[in-house]
Amino acid sequence: MKTAFHEVVHVYQMTGTSYGYYCQLLRDFQVNQTLLIVESIRTYYKAAPKLPVARQALTLPDEPAANTIRQMLRAWFLADAMLLWFEGDTDAFTSSVRSIGKVFRPHPLIATFTELNWWLTWFVRETGRVQLPEPDRRLVLAHSERELAEREKNYLSMKILLDQDTAGVLESAARAAEYWGQSGPVPPTMLGATGADSGIPVHLIRYASALQLATHHLLTDDVHTFALTYGIIADVVLNAPLLPHHASFRTAGTVIADLDPASRLLTALGASARIRPVSDPSAAEYTRFASELCAACEWPTPSDLGSAALGVLPEHPHDYFTRLYRFPLEFRDGAPAQ
C-alpha cells in the first residue's frame, strides 16, 4: 500500500505540475531539434547522418545553412543543460558545460534558461500546444553575468555536497505520502532511521534528508499533519513559473533559485515555520496554506500559474502530455487539495 501511494504521487508530480510538464516539453523539444538537424544535413548537404550528429554538425563549413544547423544544435544543448541541472546530475552537467564551452560561449544558467525559453516558446507555438504571441528574443538581466555566475556556483555546490536536487523534492514528498492518514508522532522510519525496517538504504538519503530538515521547521509532530503539510509544500515548489505560459510571472530580476525546486524547497521550509500547518485535507486548507506560503516567499501560487496556463492552452490539445497537463489544471480549480 505504501508503494502504491508513493508511485501514484510521482505520477501526479510529473503530469500535474509545471516542473513535470516542463521536463516533458524539453525532451520533446530535443527530439524535434534532432530530427530538424538530421533533415537539414540531408537537405542542404545530401549527406546521411553520422554519429555523433553533434560532431557532424560542428564540422560543416562556415556558411549560412551550416550556421543555422549549429544554432539548432545549440538549442538542443541548452535544453540538455537545464534538464541535467534540475535533475541533479551534477557530473553530467559539469561535463556538458565544459564541452559546450569549447564551442559555444557559456552563460549564467538563468541566461541559458531565458535563451531556451525563446526556443521553447517557438516550439510550443509551432506544434499547436499553446496560443502565445511571438516570443521576445532579447536577453535582459537585472544582475551582471559575473554576479549571477557566482551565485550559481553556490547552488551547484549545494547540489554536489548536500545532494539537494529536484529528485530529493520528488522522493521526499512521495515518502511523506506513505504516511497519510496515520496517527501519532512522526515515526523515525519516515525520516530514514537506520535499521532493518527503515525502508531507506543509505545511498538513497534523498528520500529522507529533506524530511529531516522539515522537522525543524514545520510546527507539528503529528504524522498526519506533517505529511499533509509537507505534501502541499512540495506541490508549491514544483509549480514554479518555468513554462513559456508563465512569462508574465518572470522578470529581469528572476534568478535560477526562483525556478529550481531544490532551492525553492529550502526557501519554502524556512517560511513554513511561521505558518499554521494543515491537518484537514480540504480545498480551503490547501488554498489557505499555499497562499500564505507563496505570499511569504513572494511567489505566484499554483492556482495563479494554472490559470495563466489554461488561458493559453488549446481546449483540445493534440499531444498526449499537454492533454494530461490540462486535466489536472482544470481539476485544481475544484479540488486543489487532491
Q: What is the pLDDT of residues 36-92, one digit of tens each?
A: 999 999 999 999 989 889 889 988 999 999 999 999 998 998 999 899 888 877 777
Chain segment 273-283, per-residue pLDDT in tens = 999 999 988 88
Whole-prediction pTM: 0.90
51-59: which pairs have CB atoms within 8 A and are 24 or more residues apart?
A: 58/103
Say whether pLDDT at 296 is over 80: yes
Q: Which residue has the cell 525563446?
A: 118
Tell me: the pLDDT tens digits for 159-209?
766 667 888 899 999 999 999 888 899 988 888 765 545 555 555 666 688
Helix orientation angle between 2-15 and 223-238, rounded to the nearest 10 degrees: 20
Q: What is the mean pLDDT of residues 152-157?
A: 76
Say how far apart CA 280 and CA 293 lie, in whole Å.
Answer: 17
Cα end-to-end distance, the chain, whole Å? 18
Q: Which of 38, 44, 32, 47 is nearest to 129 (CA)?
A: 32
DSSP assignment of 219-252, as one string? S--BHHHHHHHHHHHHHHHH--S-SGGGGGG--T
Evaluate the CA torsion angle 269, 270, 273, 275 in order and state its sign.
negative
